[in-house]
Amino acid sequence: MGNRISIQFKNGENQSPVLFSHWDGEDLKTQAEDYVETLKKEVGDKECMPIERLEPGTVMVDFIRDLTKDMDRVDSNYYLGIDENDGDNSDNGHFIIELEKTKEIIPQYPKMRDSKFDNDKSAYDTDDIKYAFQNNGLETELDNIDVIVAEICGENDSNNWYWILKMKDGKFAFAEGGCNYTGWNCQSHATITKGYKTPEEAIKKGNYSDYDNRGTENIIYCLAKQITGEMPFAMFTISTNK
């Protein structure tokens, strides 16, 4: 009789020896998973020592230490093998426990262009947001912008410009503006709405012009594709998701 099982730690191509148990059954697997979860929290991003790098052989040794810490001596139940066929796991089988650290995915937003403002530049320059804000009482907001995440360019005396901004406080903003044919320093408007937790929320709740002949759906589509990197910065195209 028994409740046989075997477990093994794995990180990339590296694997530990196999730990067999005659009596523990799937409780051994659960204990190993809980141990690994705790270990990962403790080591965090540190990678100096083998245990911090989650090297499978070292992790197995430390797990056995943890598993048997209340025993005077390990006189039965546990033994090691080269692989899952080097012992008896006939009741519950063999389980491989992955150790690889999960990498946090951090969005890589395009960097904001040169913040210097030149009055001699054309209103068609790529720095339209600076002209829009300067000429509509929002110049101080330029210092609060960390990154222009996405942009849809407009046209003088026609469609608006739209920007998704990452602010220096870590939150996001939606900005829009437009001007007549003479440029931003004549007849123009610009607004900014701040405090969104994600760029997706800023896009969803943005203030889009009903008179934009490109269509709100297409604008939203392109802004969303830009923030995921599926579309180049400032690119506009017609959505096929209709």
pLDDT the model gives residue 19: 98
Please say whether the beta carbons of 227 and 200 come within 8 A: yes
Q: How confident is the model at residue 100 (pLDDT cuts 50, 70, 90)?
A: confident
Share of the chain above pLDDT 70, in %: 88
Q: Which two tokens stand for residue 152?
A: 């849809």
Q: Strands 94-98 and 5-11: what pairing?
A: parallel
The pLDDT score that the predictor gives to residue 84 is: 94
Amino acid 199 reads: P
Q: Where does the pLDDT of residue 186 fall: very low under 50, low under 70, confident under 90, or very high at 90 and above?
A: confident
Cα pseudo-dihedral 35, 40, 43, 47, rounded to 10: 120
pLDDT at 115: 35
**pLDDT category of residue 200 using cuts at 50, 70 and 90:** very high
**Residues facing residue 5 across a β-bridge:** 21
Q: How many CB atoms lie within 10 A of CB 38?
A: 11
Band of the pLDDT at 183, cuts 50, 70, 90?
confident
pLDDT at 237 over 50: yes
**Whether residue 17 has pLDDT greater than 90:** yes
Q: What is the pLDDT of residues 104-149, one digit of tens each?
A: 444 444 444 333 333 333 333 447 899 999 999 999 999 899 889 8
Phi, psi of 221 (to 5 degrees): -55, -45
For the cut 90, the answer to whether the pLDDT of residue 34 exceeds it is: yes
Q: How confident is the model at residue 102 (pLDDT cuts 50, 70, 90)?
A: low
Q: CB atoms < 10 A from the CB of 135, how many?
A: 20
Task: Report the share of the chain in percent with pLDDT over 90.
Answer: 65
CA distance 227 to 177: 20
Please indicate, yes or no, whether the overall pTM of this predicted structure exceeds 0.85.
Answer: no
Q: What pLDDT shows up at residue 86? A: 95
Cβ–Cβ < 8 Å for 117, 39 = no
The total number of residues written for the chain in this structure = 242
**Residue 33 banded pLDDT, cuts 50, 70, 90:** very high
Using CA atoms, how far residue 135 sits from 110, 116, 127, 178, 186, in Å, is 25, 15, 13, 11, 8
Q: How far apart are CA 162 and CA 191, in angstroms?
A: 10
For residue 178, is pLDDT > 70? yes
Which residues are within 8 A (CB) of 177 and not within 5 positions of it... i.e. 6 or more apart?
128, 129, 132, 133, 136, 154, 160, 161, 184, 188, 189, 190, 191
